Amino acid sequence: MDADPSVEVATFGAGCFWCVEAVFNELKGVRSVVSGYMGGPLKNPTYEQICTGQTGHAEVAQVTFDPEQIRFEELLEVFWKTHDPTTLNRQGNDKGTQYRSAVFYHSDQQRQLAETFKQKLRDAGVDVVTEITAADVFYPAEDYHQDFFAQNNGHPYCTFVVRPKVEKVREVFADKLRDEGRS
């Protein structure tokens, strides 16, 4: 399959990938968001293996976006404002290395932008622990994890954890939302 030259890819780890996927699916210019795993040496890991904390992978969302509609810098702003980048290997009650805060960059420009943004936060007194590292092999998560919030928005985790993040994006980033409504 040939790559589409009009799009770019960004990969973020910010806790449970259900949250990250739901947040980025709200944004205009985002063509797709796929939940998956990155950052560990095990090939083709499963969710059950990731949950042991022994594989080294993070739960991530891989975002394919149109940079003419939304810039990587804007994605970074959403990333840092929709999770806690100050807690090591934890987001809320989700604990373990698979929930670490991470930007897996796909180009030197993405690396530089992520490092600049992280430094601005540190200069503002925020003790950021976000990992900024080169993207490696992306393993899509199992089918039942894809579009989890959209398909299971009554699930307790979605109600109490994912929905508040989506609502925050809708409020704080109203100018960056898709034109069509989403539930």
For residues 58 and 37, the answer to whether their CB atoms sit within 8 Å is yes
Contacts of 96 (CB under 8 A, 6+ apart): 51, 53, 89, 90
Which residues form the catalytic set?
16
Element (H, E) at 31: strand 30-38
Q: Which DSSP category does 183 fall into?
A: -
Nearest to 23 by CA among 179, 175, 174, 170: 170
How far apart, in whole angstroms, are the C-alpha atoms of residue 27 and residue 70?
A: 8
